Amino acid sequence: MRPLLACFLTLVILPALHTSASPLAYKSQQVAASDITKSVVFFRVPKKVQNAAGVQGDALEIGTGFIANLNGILFIITASHVARQMNAASLITISGESDRAATFPMSDFISSNEQPSWVYHPIADVGVLRLKPSPAVSNQLTGRGLPPAVFISSLEAPSRSRPLTVVGFPLGLGVISTGPDARLSAITKESKAASGLLTLRRADNQQATEFFLLDSPSVGGFSGAPVMILPTAFSEGDALKFSNATFCVGLVHGTLSDETGGKFAAIVPSAFITQTLEAAYLRETQRK
Protein backbone atom coordinates (compact mmCIF):
# COMPACT_ATOMS: atom_id res chain seq x y z
CA MET A 1 0.00 0.00 0.00
CA ARG A 2 1.08 3.57 -0.52
CA PRO A 3 -0.36 6.89 0.65
CA LEU A 4 -2.91 8.76 -1.42
CA LEU A 5 -0.85 11.88 -1.91
CA ALA A 6 2.57 13.15 -0.97
CA CYS A 7 1.81 16.80 -0.37
CA PHE A 8 4.25 19.67 -0.87
CA LEU A 9 3.03 23.26 -0.62
CA THR A 10 4.24 26.64 -1.84
CA LEU A 11 3.79 29.74 0.30
CA VAL A 12 2.12 32.72 -1.39
CA ILE A 13 0.97 36.09 -0.08
CA LEU A 14 -2.75 36.76 -0.60
CA PRO A 15 -5.44 38.57 1.39
CA ALA A 16 -6.83 36.59 4.32
CA LEU A 17 -10.25 34.98 4.01
CA HIS A 18 -12.98 35.45 6.60
CA THR A 19 -16.17 33.58 7.46
CA SER A 20 -19.21 34.15 9.65
CA ALA A 21 -20.47 31.95 12.46
CA SER A 22 -22.09 28.70 11.39
CA PRO A 23 -25.67 27.74 12.29
CA LEU A 24 -24.38 24.18 12.77
CA ALA A 25 -22.07 25.28 15.60
CA TYR A 26 -23.36 24.96 19.14
CA LYS A 27 -21.90 25.15 22.63
CA SER A 28 -19.08 22.64 22.75
CA GLN A 29 -19.33 19.43 24.68
CA GLN A 30 -17.01 16.73 25.89
CA VAL A 31 -16.70 13.78 23.50
CA ALA A 32 -14.95 10.62 24.67
CA ALA A 33 -11.76 9.66 22.87
CA SER A 34 -13.29 6.24 22.17
CA ASP A 35 -16.20 7.91 20.35
CA ILE A 36 -13.75 9.89 18.22
CA THR A 37 -11.76 6.80 17.21
CA LYS A 38 -14.99 4.97 16.36
CA SER A 39 -15.98 7.85 14.09
CA VAL A 40 -12.73 7.59 12.11
CA VAL A 41 -12.71 5.32 9.05
CA PHE A 42 -10.00 3.81 6.87
CA PHE A 43 -10.19 4.19 3.07
CA ARG A 44 -8.65 1.85 0.53
CA VAL A 45 -8.87 2.45 -3.18
CA PRO A 46 -8.02 -0.52 -5.45
CA LYS A 47 -5.83 0.69 -8.29
CA LYS A 48 -4.05 -0.91 -11.23
CA VAL A 49 -0.34 -0.12 -11.37
CA GLN A 50 2.52 -1.01 -13.70
CA ASN A 51 6.10 -1.55 -12.59
CA ALA A 52 9.30 -0.72 -14.47
CA ALA A 53 9.16 -4.06 -16.26
CA GLY A 54 5.68 -3.31 -17.55
CA VAL A 55 4.03 -5.89 -15.30
CA GLN A 56 0.49 -4.99 -14.25
CA GLY A 57 -0.61 -5.48 -10.67
CA ASP A 58 -3.00 -4.30 -7.98
CA ALA A 59 -2.19 -1.70 -5.35
CA LEU A 60 -4.15 0.12 -2.68
CA GLU A 61 -4.21 3.84 -2.11
CA ILE A 62 -5.01 4.68 1.51
CA GLY A 63 -6.49 7.56 3.45
CA THR A 64 -8.57 8.57 6.46
CA GLY A 65 -12.05 9.98 6.90
CA PHE A 66 -14.42 10.63 9.78
CA ILE A 67 -18.16 10.60 10.36
CA ALA A 68 -20.34 13.49 11.54
CA ASN A 69 -23.92 13.19 12.77
CA LEU A 70 -26.09 16.23 12.02
CA ASN A 71 -29.61 15.83 13.39
CA GLY A 72 -29.54 12.09 12.70
CA ILE A 73 -28.11 12.42 9.18
CA LEU A 74 -24.66 10.86 8.80
CA PHE A 75 -21.90 12.31 6.63
CA ILE A 76 -18.34 11.20 5.91
CA ILE A 77 -15.72 13.95 5.82
CA THR A 78 -12.26 13.73 4.28
CA ALA A 79 -9.82 15.74 2.18
CA SER A 80 -11.22 16.37 -1.29
CA HIS A 81 -7.99 15.04 -2.86
CA VAL A 82 -8.83 11.73 -1.15
CA ALA A 83 -12.53 11.80 -2.03
CA ARG A 84 -11.89 12.45 -5.72
CA GLN A 85 -10.00 9.16 -6.00
CA MET A 86 -12.83 7.09 -4.52
CA ASN A 87 -15.63 5.31 -6.34
CA ALA A 88 -18.40 2.81 -5.55
CA ALA A 89 -15.84 -0.03 -5.41
CA SER A 90 -13.56 1.69 -2.90
CA LEU A 91 -13.31 -0.01 0.48
CA ILE A 92 -14.20 1.57 3.84
CA THR A 93 -13.21 -0.11 7.09
CA ILE A 94 -14.80 0.78 10.42
CA SER A 95 -14.27 -0.63 13.89
CA GLY A 96 -16.94 -2.63 15.67
CA GLU A 97 -17.15 -4.22 19.09
CA SER A 98 -13.75 -4.99 20.66
CA ASP A 99 -12.13 -3.10 17.76
CA ARG A 100 -13.13 -5.81 15.28
CA ALA A 101 -12.77 -4.46 11.76
CA ALA A 102 -15.67 -4.45 9.33
CA THR A 103 -14.93 -3.66 5.68
CA PHE A 104 -17.56 -2.73 3.11
CA PRO A 105 -17.50 -1.30 -0.42
CA MET A 106 -18.42 2.35 -0.74
CA SER A 107 -21.64 1.28 -2.48
CA ASP A 108 -22.90 -0.15 0.84
CA PHE A 109 -22.50 3.26 2.48
CA ILE A 110 -24.52 5.07 -0.18
CA SER A 111 -26.88 2.22 -1.17
CA SER A 112 -25.93 2.66 -4.79
CA ASN A 113 -23.50 1.34 -7.37
CA GLU A 114 -23.33 4.81 -8.86
CA GLN A 115 -20.42 7.12 -8.21
CA PRO A 116 -20.61 8.78 -4.77
CA SER A 117 -22.02 12.30 -4.89
CA TRP A 118 -19.54 14.33 -2.82
CA VAL A 119 -19.97 17.98 -1.89
CA TYR A 120 -16.66 19.84 -2.20
CA HIS A 121 -15.61 23.13 -0.71
CA PRO A 122 -14.98 25.62 -3.55
CA ILE A 123 -11.42 26.43 -2.43
CA ALA A 124 -10.42 24.27 0.57
CA ASP A 125 -9.37 20.60 0.56
CA VAL A 126 -12.63 19.25 2.04
CA GLY A 127 -15.13 16.72 0.72
CA VAL A 128 -18.37 15.65 2.44
CA LEU A 129 -20.60 12.72 1.49
CA ARG A 130 -24.13 12.00 2.77
CA LEU A 131 -24.41 8.38 3.91
CA LYS A 132 -27.41 6.25 3.00
CA PRO A 133 -26.12 2.91 4.33
CA SER A 134 -27.40 -0.54 3.58
CA PRO A 135 -28.97 -2.40 6.54
CA ALA A 136 -25.72 -4.25 7.27
CA VAL A 137 -23.72 -1.03 7.42
CA SER A 138 -26.46 0.92 9.17
CA ASN A 139 -26.30 -1.48 12.13
CA GLN A 140 -22.54 -0.90 12.33
CA LEU A 141 -22.94 2.88 12.34
CA THR A 142 -25.37 3.13 15.25
CA GLY A 143 -24.14 5.67 17.78
CA ARG A 144 -21.28 6.91 15.60
CA GLY A 145 -20.54 10.38 14.36
CA LEU A 146 -19.11 13.58 15.79
CA PRO A 147 -21.82 16.06 16.86
CA PRO A 148 -22.00 19.54 15.29
CA ALA A 149 -20.93 21.10 18.59
CA VAL A 150 -17.31 20.01 18.13
CA PHE A 151 -16.72 21.84 14.84
CA ILE A 152 -15.26 25.34 15.17
CA SER A 153 -17.11 27.60 12.73
CA SER A 154 -14.92 30.72 12.82
CA LEU A 155 -11.87 30.86 10.56
CA GLU A 156 -9.01 30.66 13.03
CA ALA A 157 -5.93 28.72 14.03
CA PRO A 158 -5.84 27.04 17.44
CA SER A 159 -3.69 28.33 20.27
CA ARG A 160 -0.05 27.29 20.04
CA SER A 161 -0.17 26.25 23.69
CA ARG A 162 -2.86 23.60 23.23
CA PRO A 163 -1.91 20.02 22.35
CA LEU A 164 -3.63 18.82 19.15
CA THR A 165 -4.32 15.18 18.31
CA VAL A 166 -4.49 13.76 14.78
CA VAL A 167 -6.53 10.54 14.59
CA GLY A 168 -6.22 8.24 11.58
CA PHE A 169 -4.31 5.56 9.73
CA PRO A 170 -0.80 6.70 8.72
CA LEU A 171 0.90 4.23 6.35
CA GLY A 172 -2.11 1.95 6.80
CA LEU A 173 -1.12 1.32 10.42
CA GLY A 174 -3.94 0.48 12.79
CA VAL A 175 -5.40 -2.25 10.58
CA ILE A 176 -4.40 -5.43 12.37
CA SER A 177 -4.48 -8.75 10.44
CA THR A 178 -7.12 -9.76 7.92
CA GLY A 179 -10.07 -12.11 7.68
CA PRO A 180 -12.63 -12.73 10.43
CA ASP A 181 -10.14 -11.76 13.17
CA ALA A 182 -9.21 -8.41 11.60
CA ARG A 183 -9.08 -5.48 14.00
CA LEU A 184 -8.97 -1.74 13.52
CA SER A 185 -7.27 0.61 15.94
CA ALA A 186 -6.80 4.24 14.87
CA ILE A 187 -3.38 5.81 15.45
CA THR A 188 -3.14 9.10 17.36
CA LYS A 189 -0.32 11.63 16.95
CA GLU A 190 0.06 14.70 19.16
CA SER A 191 1.43 18.04 17.92
CA LYS A 192 0.95 21.75 18.48
CA ALA A 193 0.10 24.57 16.12
CA ALA A 194 3.24 26.21 14.70
CA SER A 195 1.51 29.15 13.00
CA GLY A 196 -1.57 31.27 12.71
CA LEU A 197 -3.51 31.31 9.45
CA LEU A 198 -1.34 31.25 6.33
CA THR A 199 -2.35 31.41 2.68
CA LEU A 200 -0.78 28.46 0.85
CA ARG A 201 -1.30 26.74 -2.46
CA ARG A 202 -2.86 23.30 -2.27
CA ALA A 203 -0.59 20.48 -3.39
CA ASP A 204 -3.25 18.78 -5.52
CA ASN A 205 -4.56 21.69 -7.61
CA GLN A 206 -2.46 24.77 -6.67
CA GLN A 207 -5.58 26.60 -5.42
CA ALA A 208 -4.63 29.25 -2.85
CA THR A 209 -6.46 28.86 0.44
CA GLU A 210 -6.03 29.16 4.21
CA PHE A 211 -4.13 26.64 6.32
CA PHE A 212 -2.36 26.54 9.64
CA LEU A 213 0.77 24.47 10.30
CA LEU A 214 1.66 21.89 12.92
CA ASP A 215 5.16 21.69 14.41
CA SER A 216 5.65 18.16 13.04
CA PRO A 217 5.04 16.68 9.57
CA SER A 218 2.08 14.60 8.53
CA VAL A 219 2.43 10.97 7.45
CA GLY A 220 1.04 9.36 4.29
CA GLY A 221 -2.39 7.91 5.07
CA PHE A 222 -3.27 10.71 7.50
CA SER A 223 -4.74 12.74 4.62
CA GLY A 224 -8.32 13.61 5.58
CA ALA A 225 -7.82 12.78 9.28
CA PRO A 226 -9.44 15.01 11.91
CA VAL A 227 -7.27 17.24 14.09
CA MET A 228 -8.79 17.41 17.56
CA ILE A 229 -8.46 19.31 20.82
CA LEU A 230 -9.21 16.78 23.56
CA PRO A 231 -9.97 17.38 27.24
CA THR A 232 -6.60 17.82 28.94
CA ALA A 233 -4.42 19.96 31.16
CA PHE A 234 -2.07 22.35 29.34
CA SER A 235 0.40 25.13 30.10
CA GLU A 236 -0.35 28.70 29.04
CA GLY A 237 2.28 31.19 30.13
CA ASP A 238 2.98 30.55 33.80
CA ALA A 239 -0.41 28.96 34.41
CA LEU A 240 -1.57 25.35 34.23
CA LYS A 241 -5.08 25.17 32.79
CA PHE A 242 -7.59 22.42 32.14
CA SER A 243 -10.29 22.19 29.51
CA ASN A 244 -12.97 19.50 29.38
CA ALA A 245 -14.27 20.54 25.94
CA THR A 246 -13.69 18.68 22.67
CA PHE A 247 -13.17 20.50 19.37
CA CYS A 248 -12.34 19.55 15.81
CA VAL A 249 -9.95 22.28 14.63
CA GLY A 250 -9.31 20.95 11.12
CA LEU A 251 -8.28 18.06 8.90
CA VAL A 252 -4.96 16.98 7.43
CA HIS A 253 -4.06 18.16 3.93
CA GLY A 254 -0.41 17.12 3.73
CA THR A 255 3.17 18.17 4.44
CA LEU A 256 5.07 21.36 3.66
CA SER A 257 8.70 20.50 2.94
CA ASP A 258 11.89 21.77 1.33
CA GLU A 259 15.31 20.40 0.37
CA THR A 260 16.74 21.10 3.84
CA GLY A 261 14.48 18.47 5.37
CA GLY A 262 12.30 20.90 7.30
CA LYS A 263 8.72 19.70 7.44
CA PHE A 264 5.38 20.88 8.81
CA ALA A 265 1.88 19.42 8.52
CA ALA A 266 -0.59 21.66 6.64
CA ILE A 267 -4.05 21.62 8.22
CA VAL A 268 -7.36 22.75 6.70
CA PRO A 269 -9.13 24.91 9.34
CA SER A 270 -12.40 23.60 10.74
CA ALA A 271 -14.38 26.57 9.38
CA PHE A 272 -14.08 25.05 5.90
CA ILE A 273 -15.33 21.69 7.21
CA THR A 274 -18.33 23.44 8.76
CA GLN A 275 -19.09 25.32 5.53
CA THR A 276 -18.96 22.10 3.49
CA LEU A 277 -21.12 20.22 6.02
CA GLU A 278 -23.65 23.05 5.85
CA ALA A 279 -23.77 22.83 2.06
CA ALA A 280 -24.17 19.04 2.14
CA TYR A 281 -26.82 19.21 4.88
CA LEU A 282 -28.74 21.92 3.03
CA ARG A 283 -28.70 19.89 -0.18
CA GLU A 284 -30.15 16.88 1.62
CA THR A 285 -32.85 18.76 3.50
CA GLN A 286 -33.96 20.58 0.35
CA ARG A 287 -34.51 17.23 -1.34
CA LYS A 288 -37.16 16.25 1.23
pLDDT number for residue 12: 37
What gap in Å lies between CA 58 and CA 263, rounded to an integer? 31
- Condensed to tens digits (0 to 9), the pLDDT of residues 184-207 reads 888 899 999 999 999 999 999 999
* All structural domains of the chain: 2-286 (2.40.10.120)
| 238: DSSP letter | T
What gap in Å lies between CA 266 and CA 256, rounded to an integer? 6
Does residue 48 contact residue 91 with C-beta atoms inside 8 Å? no
If one compares 184 and 235, the residue with the highest pLDDT of the two is 184
What gap in Å lies between CA 167 and CA 189, rounded to an integer? 7
Average pLDDT over residues 251-257: 90
| 114: DSSP letter | S
pLDDT number for residue 10: 40
User: Which of 274, 231, 277, 269 has the alpha carbon at shortest distance from 251?
Assistant: 269
What gap in Å lies between CA 82 and CA 222, rounded to an integer? 10
* Poorest-pLDDT segment among 29-38, 73-82, 157-166, 221-230: 29-38
Is the confidence at residue 217, as pLDDT, over 60? yes
Residue % of the chain over a pLDDT of 90 = 51
What gap in Å lies between CA 36 and CA 20, rounded to an integer? 26
The secondary structure of 58-107 as a DSSP string is EEEEEEEEEEEEETTEEEEEE-HHHHTT--TT-EEEEE-GGGBEEEEEHH
- Condensed to tens digits (0 to 9), the pLDDT of residues 23-36 reads 344 455 678 788 89
- Angle ∠(234,66,111) on CA atoms, nearest 5: 165
